[in-house]
Amino acid sequence: MTRLNLPQTCLLDLSGELGQNARKQLHEHIAKYPAALLEYEVLRGNYDLLRSLPKAEISDERQKFLAGQIKQGIHRKLRENERKIVATKRWRIVYHALAGASALAACLVVYASVNYMIDQVNKERQQAIANAKDHVRDYLDTGSANLTDYAYNNMADQIQSAADGQAALSTQGVSGRAMQKLQDDLDDSLPPGAANEPGSL
């Protein structure tokens, strides 16, 4: 239900269109507030003045013309409202599409970043294994068979085990042939007859 303000309520009362309960509330209000009573009296004077004016005679043609103009104005306003509603829906669809595209782009960026980080970690691991292999080979090339050789041979075994475990992962990028070559290189780096000595591989 529409809530009326004081001037509207007063005009409805003066024209006799106000309900009994609303009329009672209005007169209680204007009796309580002098400013409301003054506004009511001003509106009463204006209403009486308008009623005293002679009524304009409108021909049937003029009435039909005015009715047609009113209908056209109403239809024009309805079409404008429909266009606004369609435009609002279209912009909502575009907004949701852009939001989805932005989310997809963000996911792709995160995915690429994670893959890059994994690739970097794998490269660092491979480089560390290669450095350890070179380090072990340097010590084994001295031809001495002592506790140090045993320790480095043991280290070579651990490197080989780690490399074998990584070969099963596709992200490591180390093939079984490469690991076999690493083992062969370690075997070749031992001095002749060192494989039969205690502490050798």
Q: Is residue 65 part of a domain?
A: no
CB 140 within 8 A of CB 189: yes
Task: Choose one of 31, 53, 75: the last residue of a domain.
Answer: 53
Sign for the CA dihedral angle at 46, 47, 48, 52 comes to positive
**C-alpha–C-alpha distance, residues 81 and 175, integer Å:** 69
Instruction: Say what the pLDDT of residue 68 is.
Output: 86
Q: Is residue 134 part of a domain?
A: yes
Tens-place pLDDT, residues 52-63:
878 777 788 888
Q: DSSP letter for 142, please.
A: T
pLDDT at 199 over 50: no
In this structure, the answer to whether residues 45 and 117 fall within a common structural domain is no
Domains contained in the chain, number: 2
pLDDT at 145 over 80: no
Average pLDDT, stretch 73-93? 87
Q: Is residue 61 part of a domain?
A: no
Instruction: Say what the pLDDT of residue 152 is.
Output: 64
Residue with the larger pLDDT of the pair 117 and 179: 117
Q: pTM score > 0.75 for this model?
A: no
Q: Is residue 5 part of a domain?
A: yes
For tokens 């140090």, the residue is: 148
Q: Is residue 100 part of a domain?
A: no
In this structure, the answer to whether residues 118 and 189 fall within a common structural domain is yes
Instruction: Say what the pLDDT of residue 78 is.
Output: 86
Instruction: Say what the pLDDT of residue 28 is.
Output: 92
Percent of the chain with pLDDT over 70: 68
**C-alpha–C-alpha distance, residues 133 and 148, integer Å:** 15
Q: Is residue 123 part of a domain?
A: yes
- Domain holding 16, by residue range, is 1-53
Q: Is residue 185 part of a domain?
A: yes
Q: Is residue 19 part of a domain?
A: yes
In this structure, the answer to whether residues 117 and 188 fall within a common structural domain is yes
For tokens 């021909």, the residue is: 59
Nearest to 50 by CA among 9, 13, 11: 11
Average pLDDT, the chain: 76
Tokens at residue 132, please?
A: 């350890």
Average pLDDT, stretch 150-173? 61
In this structure, the answer to whether residues 117 and 191 fall within a common structural domain is yes
Q: What angle do CA 84, 85, 86 make, to 5 degrees?
A: 90
